[in-house]
């Protein structure tokens, strides 16, 4: 996959090129990323007890988010990503977790309700609305209890916005529209936030007791 894929009109090919390219550098920050994720992971665990649940992380990258959740005594941890180089780094960083190469929008290898929780971390803002809808539908299908999206919930710092522009993501529309998009998939949802621009969107497949 060459540099010209960055300019491709195919968003998936463009994103795959970008993440294959940055995988080795991204892996260097895996541990510090986990530290940043820790606070929101604890808040998530307060809302929904994760201990003993099976979790699939979609678009796992180098595995920082699923590794953070794995410290909460979950039953099993699996991560998937369309970037072979990201998965290679994830396996090096977190050999205790199972990782596979797979497309987020096509998870036919997983049966309905295969995992208690299906999550993604900073993935969906990079995909245009039509693609987000497909990914969310697949996440909901294979989740037995919850879908959890860890991503932006408000405008980020100028530096991050510049990076999102270079990535050619759908960040701007995501921040504006995603809460409504997400709510349309579930009867019950909750948004948990931190002091920064990060949030956790929780979708319950069944009404909360």
Which residues lie closer than 8 Å to 85 by C-beta, 6 or more apart?
19, 20, 23, 24
| Dihedral sign of CA atoms 126, 128, 133, 135 in order | negative
Q: Answer yes or no: are the C-beta atoms of 99 and 80 closer than 8 Å.
A: yes
Instruction: Give the Cβ contact number of residue 98 at 10 Å.
Output: 15
Of residues 206 and 122, more confidently modeled:
122
Task: Label residue 35 by pLDDT band (50, 70, 90).
Answer: confident
The domain that holds 15 is classified in CATH as: 3.40.50.150
Radius of gyration of the chain (CA): 16
Could you write out the DSSP letters of every residue in 53-106? -EEEEET-TTSHHHHHHHTT--SEEEEEES-HHHHHHHHHH-TTSEEEE--TT-
* Alpha carbon distance 125, 112 (integer Å): 25
DSSP conformational letter for 176: H
Average pLDDT on 71-90 reads 94
| Average pLDDT of every residue of the chain | 85
Instruction: Supply the range of the domain harboring residue 60.
Output: 3-204
Q: Are 134 and 105 in contact (CB under 8 A)?
A: yes
- The arithmetic mean of pLDDT across residues 77-91, rounded, is 93
Q: Which residue has the tokens 């299908």?
A: 141
Over range 53-70, report the average pLDDT: 96
pLDDT band at 50; cut points 50, 70, 90: very high
How confident is the model over 21-47, as a mean pLDDT? 73
Asked if residue 67 belongs to a domain, the reply is: yes
Per the rule left: phi > 0, alpha: psi between -120 and 50, beta: everything else, 16 is alpha
The residue behind tokens 């797979």 is 102
57, part of any domain: yes
What pLDDT, on a 0 to 100 scale, did the predictor assign at position 5?
40
Q: Has residue 6 got a pLDDT over 70?
A: no
**Structural domain includes residue 209:** no
What percentage of residues in the chain have a pLDDT greater than 70? 78
Report whether pLDDT(16) > 60.
no
In a domain, 103, yes or no: yes
pLDDT for residue 86 is more than 60? yes
What is the rounded CA–CA span in Å between residue 92 and residue 88? 7
Query: Structurally, how many domains does the chain consist of?
Result: 1
Are the beta carbons of 113 and 144 closer than 8 angstroms?
yes
124-182 per-position pLDDT tens digit:
998 899 999 999 999 999 999 999 999 999 887 776 766 666 667 888 899 999 999 99
Residue 26 has pLDDT above 90, yes or no: no
**pTM for the full predicted model:** 0.84
């Amino acid at each position: 996959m060459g540099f010209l894929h960055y300019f491709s009109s195919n968003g998936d090919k463009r994103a795959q090129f970008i993440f294959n390219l940055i995988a080795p550098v991204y892996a260097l920050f895996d541990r510090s990323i986990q530290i940043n994720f820790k606070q929101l992971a604890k808040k998530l665990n307060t809302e929904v007890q994760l201990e003993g649940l099976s979790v699939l992380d979609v678009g796992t990258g180098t595995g920082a988010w699923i590794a953070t959740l794995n410290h909460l005594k979950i039953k099993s941890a699996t991560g998937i990503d369309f970037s072979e180089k990201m998965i290679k780094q994830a396996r090096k960083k977190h050999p205790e977790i199972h990782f596979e190469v797979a497309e987020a929008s096509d998870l036919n290898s997983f049966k309905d309700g295969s995992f208690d929780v299906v999550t993604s971390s900073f993935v969906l803002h990079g995909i245009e609305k039509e693609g987000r809808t497909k990914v969310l539908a697949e996440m909901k299908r294979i989740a037995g209890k919850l879908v959890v999206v860890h991503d932006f919930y408000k405008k980020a710092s100028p530096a991050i916005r510049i990076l999102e522009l270079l990535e050619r993501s759908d960040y701007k529309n995501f921040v504006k529209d995603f809460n409504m998009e997400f709510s349309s998939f579930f009867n019950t949802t909750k948004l948990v936030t931190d002091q920064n621009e990060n949030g956790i969107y929780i979708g319950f497949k069944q009404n909360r007791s």
